[in-house]
Amino acid sequence: MLSVYVLLQAFSLVVSLVITKLVKPLFCFFTQRRMFNMTGQVPPTMSGACGCSLKGDMYIFGGYDFSGQTNEMYCVNLTDTKYMSRKIIHESGIFLFPRIIYFGGYGEKTTDDVRSRKDCFLVEEESWIVDLIWGWNNEVHIFDPVHASWSEPRTHGQAPSARATHASAQLGHRGYIIGGKVMETSTSDIHCLDLESWTWSKIIPVSSSPVGRSWHTLTAVSDSSLFLFGGLSKDCKPMSDGWLFDVETKEWKEVEHPFKHKLRLWHTACIGTDSDVIVFGGSCEYFLEVHKVGIRDTDRHATVLD
């Protein structure tokens, strides 16, 4: 049985930021939490699923277990104290607001699907299984939670390369993608998608940049600033560095803090009060060896548009 944890106080690893170029120290403290068992159509136990909250509902999409990847979607209301989960039946249609936007990821496709989308899919050559092919994609998909429908916008401009385990965040009507992994390569590139014109653009920083990474987080902390934390480096070393990126000046600035020993990857992060970034969970070790244990990078990242 899966459970929902409800935080009763802000807790875990909290990064305090003042976006006037001044930086407060990062700090940790404890709190209490309560566990509630979900009922109804409970999602199966999965790894690498993607979740986001929209108007009090938590949407859980995708993931991986030893039987393979899934494209199933579940929804649970976090405000009515019942925590009743339901499975959402996919339909095709035209999206309306509110919407959830997904980009990229790793998974399987049929050979026919790969042929029709060869510009969007990078095949992992050693993964072919009869008519199924594994690999990375750079597709954009939109989920309309009101009508439980999916659509795929026609994008323009230079799209990011196919990837998984990247991080994403939204500022205004633009979505930002930073880093990620494809094959054995981790990147630090920055891409922006205009969510009105569906046009991609690549951002070239004017300052020194963080090292390439995967399994990190990216959090919008002001109208023009993004906060990057932790992740896994190119040489598979867990990290604990924090960086601010100004989308207007295109400058990176490293955030100094006294908890560099708090290594973290595969974690989650969200904005709190007073410009705090709350980092929760994750791992301090890289314990996944893809080809030995059969677990694959399946992360997609979602942007919510209210």
pLDDT above 70 for 216: yes
State which of 86-100, 103-117, 118-132, 204-218 shows the largest mean pLDDT: 204-218
d(CA 190, CA 179): 7
CA distances in angstroms from 14 to 93, 119, 167, 286, listed in the order given: 40, 40, 18, 22
Per-residue pLDDT tens digits for 33-70: 677 788 899 888 887 788 888 888 888 888 877 777 78
Q: Residue written as tokens 């939670």?
A: 145
Whole-number pLDDT of residue 293: 39
Whole-number pLDDT of residue 300: 52
On the CB side of 138, CA atoms within 13 Å amount to 22
pLDDT above 80 for 12: no
* Residues contacting 19, CB < 8 A, separation 6+: 221, 222, 225, 244, 275
Q: How confident is residue 115, by pLDDT bands cut at 50, 70 and 90? A: confident
Task: Work out the average pLDDT over 238-246.
Answer: 96
Whole-number pLDDT of residue 200: 98
pLDDT above 60 for 26: no
Of the ranges 51-65, 87-101, 106-120, which one carries the lowest mean pLDDT score?
A: 87-101
Of the ranges 98-107, 194-203, 229-238, which one carries the lowest mean pLDDT score?
A: 98-107
d(CA 289, CA 198): 36
Q: How confident is residue 29, by pLDDT bands cut at 50, 70 and 90? A: very low
State which of 37-46, 134-143, 293-302 shows the largest mean pLDDT: 134-143
Strands lying side by side in the sheet with 39-40: 39-40, 84-88, 73-77, 57-61, 50-54
Whole-number pLDDT of residue 7: 33
The domains located in the chain, with CATH, are: 92-305 (2.120.10.80)
Do the beta carbons of residue 297 and residue 165 sit within 8 Å?
Answer: yes
State which of 81-95, 128-142, 194-208, 284-298 shows the largest mean pLDDT: 194-208
Higher pLDDT, 120 or 90: 120
